[in-house]
Structure 1
């Protein structure tokens, strides 16, 4: 699968433009960091990639993306339900038997190194375990495109390191992953970076707008 953005721009109605001239390409197996300060439009770009928002200018092309999944910034769950319950529920909703869904859920929890917590209720999971559980649930749906919003924003250093390790490992599974983040630890494990600060119209370099193609500026 492949995603190609050409000269994207976005502005909320009645508001200033967040960015313009944004261009990049990415393919399956890549882990792309979307970086920039708060308010630069990282989450907005995730929504554009997911098809929930339309850019105000430019073209977004996707090839081979049949299914996508989103992991939100704030972990959420049912306090009394186990981790395996949370991962298996969407599978059951799509028609899997309970036994098949549970087996698949345990496989993906193992992939995220959560075997030890599979039968633990959500209320007893740490912040890092909750975030990795949501990653496992997203991957269990077998997406072509995975969008992750600020996965370490509310975690301590230990939990953030766990999530970074999990994200690094996902690059070997053929999924195209975009991660909105301002955490340098997350950026370090990514294969490429799209820095929205370089394309924000508030600070154009030498009278022109920089454009980013997976971390490299394009004239």
Structure 2
């Protein structure tokens, strides 16, 4: 996936960013950083194809399935946590039994094994955020966009989430994580900085193994 000279502004507003140029590769986890108001969520929307850039182009070669986990999780209030993760697996053609087994394994991976039968409305903010991450991974996207995934999580759970995202990248997904959190940034393999408008690889010792 190639970003070529991306710039964006909304009508009658100054540019949020300009000249963003980068090649985003599978097996990498990119920390998308910049000060508040610099356009991180807007850039995610450009990557997803939800917005057209004011300047430049996004070349989505090899990207047919895009997953996006928003900062504020949204789910079906009366649907169980397990059902949220089962659905994308059924869409892929898994039998209901295999889908339930895979969904349960993903919930355990995100520390939600005991919450499988609880309705979405009964989950805490952190639990709901982890559920949306599990559902997003179940969909097997080519490009996975995550907005502030650890904002509602304690340090230990945040580290687990970062490790899981690294595992997804190793499976061939391009992962882009918008974050203000230093720990999350340090766990990524590369930094995409909206201030410098480019990608900086992290030192090998700072990567999460992606």
TM-score normalised by length of structure 2: 0.83
Q: Determine helix, strand or coil for the equivalent of 1:20.
A: strand
Say yes or no: does 1:106 pair with 2:104. Answer: yes
Does 2:35 correspond to 1:10? no
Which residue of the other structure, out of 196, 199, 208, is the alignment partner of 1:213?
199
- Residues 11, 56 of structure 1: 8 Å contact kept: yes
Equivalent residue, structure 1, for 2:59: 61
Structure number with higher strand proportion: 1
Q: Which residue of 1 aligns with 2:208?
A: none
* Aligned pairs for 1:17-28 within 5 A: 17-28=15-26
The 5 A counterparts of 1:127-166 are: 127-166=125-164
Q: Which runs of 5+ in 2 are unaligned?
A: 203-210
Q: Contact (CA 8 Å) 2:190, 2:199: kept in 1 or not?
A: no
Secondary structure of 2:60's aligned partner: strand
TM-score (norm 1): 0.80
CA distance in 2, matches of 1:168, 1:141: 16
Query: Which shifted more, 188-197 or 164-173?
Result: 164-173
RMSD: 2.4
**Number of residue pairs matched by the alignment:** 202
CA contact (8 A) 2:126 2:152 kept: no
Q: Identify which of 160, 175, 178 aligns with 2:176.
A: 178
Q: Sort the Cα spacing of 1:150 and 1:40 in 2 relative to 1 into closer, same or farther, 3 A.
A: same
Counterpart of 1:48 in structure 2 is 46
SS across alignment from 1:151: coil
d(CA) in 2 for partners of 1:215, 1:60: 20
* Matched position secondary structure for 2:64: coil
Q: Is the 8 A contact 1:10 1:17 kept in 2?
A: yes
The change in CA–CA distance for 1:41 and 1:127 in structure 2 (over 3 A counts) is same
In the other structure, the counterpart of 1:83 is: 81
Is 1:187 matched with 2:173? no
Q: Return 5+ residue gaps in structure 1 as ranges.
A: 200-211
Task: Please list the CA deviations of residues 88-128 of structure 1 after superposition, one character each: whole Å capped at 9, or x if unmatched.
Answer: 13444666553343233223324434334323333444433
Counterpart Cα distance in 1 of 2:33 and 2:20: 13
Distance in 1 (alpha carbons) for counterparts of 2:63 and 2:21? 19
